[in-house]
Structures are given as structure tokens and as C-alpha cells.
Amino acid sequence: MQKMMTYQDQGPGLLSLYGRALLPKRRTGSVDAGRIPQLEAEIIGMQTDTPDLYRYSKLCGFAARTSVPVTWPHILAFPLHLKLLTNPAFLLPLLGLVHLRNEITQYRPIGVGERLNLTVRLGNEAETDRGLEFDLIAEARAGGKLVWQEASTTLHRRSGSAQKKKTGRPSLEQWPNTIEVKAPGSIGRQYGRLSGDMNPIHMHALTARAFGFPRAIAHGMWSKARCLALLSQQEDWRSGAVTIGCDFKKPFFLPGTGLLNWKENGKYWDYQLLNSKGDAPHLTGFVRWQ
């Protein structure tokens, strides 16, 4: 594993990384499974209660607590994500990468004001019928102990990769609890500025159309965080060690309305964010307490 850079207190500046993200990469046709570079970067002593924490909690709907939202370290680690993906050794173009899945394990609540050592690395590459998949693996340590980790699975579609054949839409199981989720037209810009994820498909209808979308779409990690903010306000929500995963499905177009639908089964909950008709998922996921 090649350690690229160690940062103290805060991550790399995003402005220069945005410029690199827009530059064309070398040809990627020869990039095969096993060719994702082994890169790693870290931040030492990252403060958790940055000025953006309150804005993030409000934007996603998390209630004020003494611990940070379970998805907050993802935001803190994002500059390291971009640092790795803009490294010259990473040959895949950033624009067009597809976020497929996200899984977070929090081993204990992280207190507001705690300092974390954050590490991000690339790994788990695999050839699939859709193209090349790999993970951005993030870990947070406090006092030398692992307190939080995340795997964000990303897809690079290859030309000639098999496409899934469209079949009849399977019937969705409807669960007993449902809450309406509203996503205003500006949520992509608001979340993008706060998170650093300024992908054009989230910013505006005009920039989204350049990539084949009729309107801007919500960030998958905003959708996940919004679902968790609502779930965490339920009476039977637990504290402590937890793993929360989701698969991103159909785009959540902005502005839009979705339906958070879930069922509770002790230490294991299932949830899904459906479209306004309730017949197609934007994401499906689970919560598992340890």
C-alpha cells in the first residue's frame, strides 16, 4: 500500500482537486481487474465538530445530540476520497463513476468534539458483468482504537460490458412504517457545497442533462443520511455498535418526493426509500445492531 500523504488536523484543499477531477485521464482500456492502484492517505487529529457539523445535521434532519451522526465521518473523509481518485496512478475518469453501495460500521458513538485519525484507501477491485468495481475504504480511530469504518463500492462501466436486461418490475414488499421524504430542487447544490461532492449530475438540471439525466439527482449519501435521520428519531432506535448498509437503485430526481418505508425486527431493521408512488426504490438498506 502506497501512502500518498499525511495531513494534520484537516484534509487537502478541494479547489485544486476539482481541477484535477475535470482533466482527461490517460486511456483506460487496458485497466483490468487488479490494476486499481494501492493508494492510501490519512488525516491525523481531525476535529469532529467542524463549523459544518451543525449545517450538515440540519440539512439531513439529524436531531441535536452529544454524538455525531453516523454518516458524518464520511463527510470528513471525502477530501481523502478525492485525493486518491485524482492521483495520476488512478487511471479511471471520475466523471461517470457510479456509486453502487455504501456500508458503515460504527463500533461506538463518536462524541461531538472528539478528534479522529482518518484513513482512506482503495481496494477490493473486481470485474463484474457491468464493469470494474472497487471500494473506497475509510477508517476512523480514536485513541488508537477503530471506532468507525466504511466501504463505498463504486463502478466504472466498460464499453462492451454486459447490460442488465430489462425485465418485468418485481413486486415490492410494503412494510408497516412509512414517512414522506421531500427533496427540494436546491438540495444537490446545498449538499454538494457542504460535502465537497460537486458532481455536475447533482448541481443543476442543465449540467445533469449533459450526462443523460432529465433533471439533477440527489446525492446517494444525502438520501441515506436523510433516511437515517428519520429512523434515528423512532422510539425503538438503539444506540451502540451498529452496521448500516444500503444499495443505491433508481435516481431520486430533484425536486422530488419519496417514501421512507421500513420494518423493525429487534436488532435488525430493513428500510427502503421509494418513489412517490411507492412502486420503485431509490435505495434499499438495513440496520444491524451488534
3-state secondary structure 138-198: EEEEECCEEEEEEEEEEEEECCCCCCCCCCCCCCCCCCCEEEEEEECCCHHHHHHHHHCCC
For residues 67 and 107, the answer to whether their CB atoms sit within 8 Å is: no
Q: In the predicted model, what is the mean pLDDT of residues 110-117?
A: 97
Residue 253 bridge partners (DSSP): 217
Rounded to an integer, what distance in angstroms lies between the CA atom of residue 287 and that of residue 104? 10
| Per-residue cell: 246 | 444500503
Task: Name the least confident of 3-7, 133-137, 153-157, 274-278.
Answer: 3-7
Q: Among residues 69, 77, 137, which one has the least CA distance to residue 106? A: 69
Task: Name the least confident of 23-27, 122-126, 174-178.
Answer: 23-27
Confidence of residue 161 (pLDDT cuts 50, 70, 90): low
pLDDT at 191 over 80: yes
In one-letter notation, the amino acid at residue 245 is G
Task: Name the least confident of 13-17, 166-170, 203-207, 219-223.
Answer: 166-170
pLDDT at 235 over 50: yes
Rounded to an integer, what distance in angstroms lies between the CA atom of residue 200 and that of residue 208? 6
Residues of the chain with CATH 3.10.129.10: 1-165, 176-290
Task: Name the least confident of 12-16, 151-155, 182-186, 237-241.
Answer: 12-16
Rounded to an integer, what distance in angstroms lies between the CA atom of residue 166 and that of residue 223? 25
Tell whether domain 176-290 is in CATH 3.40.50.10490. no
Q: In the predicted model, what is the mean pLDDT of residues 236-260?
A: 97
In the numeric block, the cell 475535470 is attached to 22
pLDDT at 33 over 50: no
- Sign of the CA dihedral with 75 first, then 76, 80, and 82 last: positive
Helix (H) or strand (E) holding 40: strand 39-47
What DSSP string runs through 138-150?
A: EEEEETTEEEEEE
Helix (H) or strand (E) holding 18: helix 14-22
pLDDT at 167 over 80: no
Confidence of residue 29 (pLDDT cuts 50, 70, 90): very low
pLDDT at 160 over 90: no
Residue 248 bridge partners (DSSP): 283
Report pLDDT for 135.
98
Confidence of residue 222 (pLDDT cuts 50, 70, 90): very high
Confidence of residue 3 (pLDDT cuts 50, 70, 90): low
SS3 281: strand
Report pLDDT for 165.
56
For residues 285 and 274, the answer to whether their CB atoms sit within 8 Å is: no
Report pLDDT for 6.
84
User: Against a cut of 0.85, is the pTM above it?
Assistant: yes
The architecture of the domain spanning 1-165 is Roll (3.10)
H helices then E strands: how many in the chain?
7, 11
- Rounded to a whole number of angstroms, the CA Rg of the chain reads 19
DSSP H helical ranges for 23-136: 52-60, 72-85
- Write the CA distances from 173 to 150, 202, 251, integer angstroms: 28, 29, 20
Rounded to an integer, what distance in angstroms lies between the CA atom of residue 100 and that of residue 134? 10
Rounded to an integer, what distance in angstroms lies between the CA atom of residue 12 and that of residue 266? 41
In the numeric block, the cell 466504511 is attached to 150
For residues 162 and 95, the answer to whether their CB atoms sit within 8 Å is: no
